[in-house]
């Protein structure tokens, strides 16, 4: 078994969709970034890549690469899953937290879990997503951005 940790943050701006865990969340602002800026999936991808000892998201999906412009981060997650499978790993379990003052995310979490488990080809019982506010403190509390943390346990592996 190996464990990986991921963290990401994106700025909230007007004129962008808010995509979290591959779910379009209705809100007056969205996350700024090169791809769809799905902060949860970026943290998760870093956790998975990190667990396998394969570097980080920027190494595999560089923001300078036009291929990832406005890309769905579900596609990036699928590629990260393929990388792990090539190395003989399967997903043990995933836990994650989105730090977000607004909007309320509770009702969207089942859709995020479904997306992640579908794309990684693992059971939904292996995927956990939580959301919490920052009690009004800091950049997440003021609504300037959204951050996410993820840990992933992976099993197997060759070599």
Which stretches of the chain bind Mg ion, using CB under 5 A?
A: 8, 42
Q: Give 32 or 92: the residue with its C-beta nearer to Mg ion.
A: 32
Assess contact for 2 and 152: CB atoms under 8 A: no
SS3 sequence, 29-85? EEECCCCCCCHHHHHHHHHHHHHCCCCCHHHHCCCCCHHHCCCCHHHHHHHHHHHHH
In angstroms, the CA 114 to CA 155 distance is 21
117: preceding bond cis by omega (within 30 degrees): no
| In the complex, least distance from residue 8 CB atom to Mg ion, rounded to whole angstroms | 4
Residue closer to Mg ion by CB (options 60, 90) is 60
Taking the complex as a whole, how short is the minimal distance between the CB of residue 73 and Mg ion, in angstroms? Answer: 8
The nearest distance, CB 105 to Mg ion, in angstroms, is 17
Q: Would you say 29 or 42 has its CB closer to Mg ion?
A: 42
Rounded to whole angstroms, the Cα distance separating 4 from 150 reads: 8
Of 10 and 108, nearer to Mg ion (C-beta) is: 10
CB of residue 142 to Mg ion, shortest distance in Å: 20
Indicate the residue among 16 and 92 with the shorter CB distance to Mg ion.
16
Task: Report residue 104 as tokens.
Answer: 């309320």
Q: How far is the CB of 42 from Mg ion (least distance, A)?
A: 4
Which residue in the shown chain puts its C-beta closest to Mg ion? 42
The answer to whether 157 and 83 are in contact (CB under 8 A) is: no
């Amino acid at each position: 078994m190996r464990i990986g940790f991921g963290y990401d943050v994106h700025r909230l701006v007007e004129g962008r969709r808010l995509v979290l865990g591959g779910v379009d969340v209705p809100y007056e602002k969205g996350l700024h970034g090169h791809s769809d800026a799905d902060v949860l999936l970026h943290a998760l991808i870093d956790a998975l890549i990190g667990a396998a000892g394969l570097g980080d998201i920027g190494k595999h999906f560089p923001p300078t690469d036009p291929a990832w412009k406005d890309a769905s981060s579900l596609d990036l997650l699928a590629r990260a899953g393929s990388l792990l499978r090539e190395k003989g790993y399967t997903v043990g379990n995933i836990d994650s937290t989105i730090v977000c003052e607004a909007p309320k995310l509770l009702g969207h979490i089942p859709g995020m879990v479904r997306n992640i488990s579908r794309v990684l080809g693992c059971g939904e019982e292996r995927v956990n997503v939580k959301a919490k506010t920052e009690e009004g403190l800091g950049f997440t509390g003021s609504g300037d951005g959204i951050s996410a943390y993820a840990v992933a346990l992976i099993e197997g592996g060759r070599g």
